[in-house]
């Protein structure tokens, strides 16, 4: 054992040590830059031999004792806990460990905990069991909830179901809070079985429930989303704006004569990408230009803008409010590819044979002028009936460009599915508002040919960039979707076979494709597609040379949205160096740590977006108790079933106690609740009519009642 290895192990095992990044740990050990290679070699050896491991923030810690596991804690509705073990640990028997309620200590959702294993699962069991012996790192101490008073004391009922009792906050009226106000609290003492109420202090009063904007603030604070830029970041943005001159084309390829267009949502404000397409007169090949906003030009590495963008990781698109990754002066202004404005871009010029076969890819620092900003709706309307749109409404060259884009996109899409790509149709709610800004309803988002054009062109550009780095043997920030575990696909196959599908080879992509398509035809897509989604692993960022399973693409990265995603900005910077003829620096460990961080921030943003949509829909339904609507059953259990609205995409629970016309028994094999006397049944995938029974805005729950049973089984 070397001296450095001995010192490092002693530091990691010290009871005063708290996990550090490699850079911080090297500084603590007093290492100079010349020892960096040896230090990383020692760390790699400790990790490979199981004596050290990285946590969720890619900080190094000593491996926990034998028989223990480190992972993230989640509390279920029943009060029990589930811990998902970190990747790369020796314990591979089960990634999730079940924790009895009395063995959870004071762990809260998202906390990193040390678990002592009590029992490993058998082959027929999905979970190991264990007990939480220590909370290693709190996910947060800040929570949002509703303030109320009881017996001259103040309490806060925290949003969600993880704390069943109100949290004690002391004397009434702290911070001027009034009953039914939404407040932010900082937890001083987390609740336990013996101290159910814990203790907290109110740090902010958001306002009365139902007042405009309060629901948005609740979600922002619940997820610790940054909603304001520090002054030094705004000053940096203003400085970059002063340096930008539209007439400076130096070092850039001039694409201002290309017929460049953009296609975006009708309410979009930041325009990341624009495209142009023509056929080469000599070869007949397609030449596709994908122009992406050159955000890196305005965000120098290490600048205040860069540090803040890295801290945020992504823009967050909440209903009615956007929390941009980069100040709007740049994200909605100088970098945004607005119509008729000269803008800097990073460009991929992709050539395809007439049948869509890739030929070549070239990359440029460019300049464009967006000739026309289209909305998805405009393009879809034109492509549905081109003959109905005259030349006075749409110039002939733009008409032909859109028709050509449709032709190429259809070919690229067909080639992708021929490789085995999987497309999951998950219901996405688009909220509708009245004149006062209140939710008046919702509908399902449309994903038609106009969306597919941009999707296929962006996929092609992302693939070309990732392939370039692979060919040059340079590690970059890739977008990875690991292949699912065979056992997970086998469980999915068992599930759909009971629904009447025929899956013999669960790992055959084309059998999965067939099931997904047939479920759309049969009207069972919500249940089947969600079941497959749960069988797949999460996509993530990192430098690992792995494929993107769902897309069936061997080399893939995110390149096309640097305004709103930090990983894209990383890729842009590295590509700019290649274009300049330099080999970019590439530190795998730093890319891994940054990828983990960006993946976590992406999931935080997605969770916040989903929560606010659900909260707004539940608020809408809370005034419509007794309303009936069609819904599809998405999961069935012994205590009832969940159903999601077909036109109003929100899911709720139909408890078995509300099925009063008969006694129902649960068949796990067929995912069915069947009447013991009659022929009624409730099966996964069935379409039924449900009635709004109860809405709990604090718990975010919706209780439904079956208003009309499905047809009798035959």
Overall pTM surpassing 0.95 (yes/no): no
Distance, in Å, from the CA atom of 86 to the CA atom of 114, rounded to the nearest integer, reads: 11
Q: State mean pLDDT over 171-180.
A: 91
3-state secondary structure of 216: helix
Q: For residues 675 and 95, which has the higher predicted lDDT (pLDDT)?
A: 675
For the chain, the average pLDDT equals: 91
pLDDT for 293 equals: 98
pLDDT for 91 equals: 45
**Which residues are within 8 A (CB) of 126 and not within 5 positions of it... i.e. 6 or more apart?**
94, 96
pLDDT for 239 equals: 97
Distance, in Å, from the CA atom of 689 to the CA atom of 704, rounded to the nearest integer, reads: 10
Q: State mean pLDDT over 29-49.
A: 78
DSSP letter for each residue of 361-382: EEEEEEEEEB-EEEEHHHHHHH
Q: State mean pLDDT over 317-342.
A: 95
Q: State mean pLDDT over 397-406.
A: 97
Q: What is the pLDDT of residues 613-629, one digit of tens each?
A: 999 999 999 999 999 99
Q: State mean pLDDT over 52-77.
A: 83
pLDDT for 443 equals: 87
Q: State mean pLDDT over 546-557.
A: 96
pLDDT for 406 equals: 98
Q: Over the Cα atoms of the chain, what is R_g?
A: 27
Q: State mean pLDDT over 409-427.
A: 94
Q: What is the pLDDT of residues 280-311, one digit of tens each?
A: 999 999 999 999 999 999 999 999 999 999 99
Whether pLDDT at 491 is above 70: yes
Distance, in Å, from the CA atom of 607 to the CA atom of 317, rounded to the nearest integer, reads: 11
Size of the chain, expressed as the number of residues it contains:
714
Q: State mean pLDDT over 575-584.
A: 96
pLDDT for 623 equals: 94
Q: For residues 28 and 169, which has the higher predicted lDDT (pLDDT)?
A: 169
**Which residues are within 8 A (CB) of 419 and not within 5 positions of it... i.e. 6 or more apart?**
552, 553
DSSP letter for each residue of 279-344: E-TTT--EEEEEEEE-GGGTS-TTSHHHHHHHHH-B-EEETTEEE-SS-HIIIIIISS--BT-EEE
Distance, in Å, from the CA atom of 20 to the CA atom of 587, rounded to the nearest integer, reads: 18
Give the position of tokens 């590819």. Answer: 337
pLDDT for 661 equals: 86
Q: State mean pLDDT over 196-207.
A: 95
Q: State mean pLDDT over 135-163.
A: 93
Whether pLDDT at 217 is above 70: yes
pLDDT for 589 equals: 81
Least confident of 30-44, 102-116, 379-393, 611-625: 30-44
> What domains does the chain contain, in order, with CATH numbers?
3-62 (1.10.10.10), 68-137 (2.40.50.140), 142-222 (2.40.50), 231-377+393-410+443-477+553-609 (no CATH), 622-708 (2.40.50.140)
pLDDT for 51 equals: 79
Q: For residues 208 and 647, which has the higher predicted lDDT (pLDDT)?
A: 208
Whether pLDDT at 121 is above 80: no
**Which residues are within 8 A (CB) of 363 and not within 5 positions of it... i.e. 6 or more apart?**
346, 347, 348, 349, 465, 468, 575, 578, 579
Q: For residues 461 and 34, which has the higher predicted lDDT (pLDDT)?
A: 461
Distance, in Å, from the CA atom of 466 to the CA atom of 189, rounded to the nearest integer, reads: 48
Tell me the pLDDT band of 1, cut-offs 50, 70 and 90: low
pLDDT for 714 equals: 32
DSSP letter for each residue of 9-36: HHHHT-TT---B-HHHHHHHTT--GGGH
Q: Which of 353, 350, 451 is nearest to 406 (CA)?
A: 451
Q: State mean pLDDT over 384-398.
A: 90
Least confident of 26-35, 153-162, 341-350: 26-35
Whether pLDDT at 124 is above 70: no
Q: What is the pLDDT of residues 66-105, one digit of tens each?
A: 778 888 999 987 789 999 887 655 444 466 899 999 999 9
Share of the chain above pLDDT 70, in %: 96
Q: For residues 683 and 463, which has the higher predicted lDDT (pLDDT)?
A: 463
Contact 617, 650 (CB under 8 A): yes
Q: What is the pLDDT of residues 241-255, one digit of tens each?
A: 999 998 999 999 999
pLDDT for 426 equals: 84
pLDDT for 33 equals: 59
Q: What is the pLDDT of residues 508-537, one digit of tens each?
A: 999 999 999 998 888 788 888 988 998 999
């Amino acid at each position: 054992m070397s001296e450095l290895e001995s010192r490092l192990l002693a530091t990691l095992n010290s009871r005063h040590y708290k996990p550090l990044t490699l850079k911080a740990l090297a500084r603590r050990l007093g290492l100079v830059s010349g020892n960096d290679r040896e230090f990383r070699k020692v760390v790699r050896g400790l990790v490979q031999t199981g004596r050290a491991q990285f946590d969720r923030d890619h900080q190094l810690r000593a491996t926990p004792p034998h028989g223990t596991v480190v992972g993230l804690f989640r509390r279920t509705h029943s009060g029990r806990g589930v811990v998902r073990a970190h990747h790369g640990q020796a314990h591979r028997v089960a990634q999730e460990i079940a924790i009895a309620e009395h063995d959870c200590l004071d762990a809260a959702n998202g906390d990193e905990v040390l678990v002592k294993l009590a029992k490993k699962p058998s082959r027929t069991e999905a979970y190991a069991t264990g007990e939480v012996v220590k909370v290693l790192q709190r996910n947060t101490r800040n929570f949002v909830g509703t303030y109320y008073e009881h017996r001259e004391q103040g309490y806060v009922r925290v949003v969600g179901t993880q704390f069943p009792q109100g949290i004690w906050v002391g004397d009434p009226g702290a911070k001027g809070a009034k009953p039914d106000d939404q407040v932010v609290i900082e937890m001083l003492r987390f609740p336990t079985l013996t101290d159910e109420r814990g203790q907290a202090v109110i740090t902010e009063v958001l306002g009365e429930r139902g007042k405009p904007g309060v629901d948005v603030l609740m979600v922002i604070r619940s997820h610790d989303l940054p909603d304001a830029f520090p002054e030094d970041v705004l000053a940096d943005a203003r400085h970059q704006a002063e340096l930008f001159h539209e007439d400076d084309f130096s070092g850039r390829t001039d694409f201002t004569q290309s017929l460049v267009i953009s296609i975006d949502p009708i309410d979009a404000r930041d325009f990341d990408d624009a495209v142009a397409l023509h056929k080469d007169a000599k070869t007949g090949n397609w030449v596709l230009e994908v122009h992406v906003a050159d955000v890196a030009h305005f965000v120098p590495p290490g600048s205040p803008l860069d540090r803040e963008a890295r801290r945020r990781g992504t823009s967050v698109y909440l209903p009615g409010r956007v929390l941009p990754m980069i100040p709007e002066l740049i994200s909605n202004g100088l970098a945004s590819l607005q119509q008729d404005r000269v803008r800097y871009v990073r460009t991929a010029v992709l050539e395809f044979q007439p049948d869509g076969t890739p030929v070549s890819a070239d990359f440029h620092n460019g300049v464009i002028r967006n000739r026309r900003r289209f909305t998805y709706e405009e393009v879809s309307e034109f492509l549905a009936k081109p003959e109905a749109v005259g030349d006075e409404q749409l110039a002939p060259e733009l008409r032909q460009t859109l028709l050509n884009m449709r032709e190429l996109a259809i070919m690229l899409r067909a080639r992708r599915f021929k490789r085995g790509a999987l497309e999951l149709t998950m219901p996405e709610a688009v909220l509708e508002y009245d004149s006062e800004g209140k939710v008046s309803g919702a509908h399902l988002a449309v994903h038609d040919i106009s969306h597919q054009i941009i999707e296929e062109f962006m996929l092609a550009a992302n693939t070309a960039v990732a392939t370039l780095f692979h060919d040059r043997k340079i590690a970059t920030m890739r977008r990875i979707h690991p292949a699912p575990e065979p056992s997970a696909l086998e469980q999915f196959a068992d599930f759909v076979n009971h629904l009447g599908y025929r899956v013999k080879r669960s790992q055959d992509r084309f059998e999965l494709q067939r099931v997904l398509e047939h479920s759309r035809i049969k009207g069972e897509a919500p249940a089947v597609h969600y079941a497959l989604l749960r069988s797949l692993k999460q996509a993530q960022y990192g430098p690992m040379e792995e494929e993107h399973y769902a897309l069936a693409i061997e080399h893939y990265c995110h390149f096309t949205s640097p305004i709103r995603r930090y990983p894209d900005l990383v890729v842009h910077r590295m590509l700019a160096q290649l274009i300049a003829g330099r080999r970019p620096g590439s530190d795998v460990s730093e890319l891994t740590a940054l990828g983990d961080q960006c993946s976590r921030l992406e999931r935080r943003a997605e969770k916040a977006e989903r929560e606010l949509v659900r909260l707004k829909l539940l608020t809408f339904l809370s005034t419509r108790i007794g309303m009936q609507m069609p819904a599809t059953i998405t999961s069935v259990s012994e205590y009832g079933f969940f159903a999601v609205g077909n036109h109003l995409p929100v899911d709720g629970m139909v408890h078995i106690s509300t099925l009063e016309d008969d006694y129902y028994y649960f068949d796990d094999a067929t995912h069915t609740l069947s009447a013991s006397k009659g022929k009624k049944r409730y099966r996964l995938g069935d379409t039924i009519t449900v009635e709004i029974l109860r809405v709990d805005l604090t718990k975010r729950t919706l209780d439904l009642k079956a208003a009309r049973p499905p047809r009798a089984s035959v």
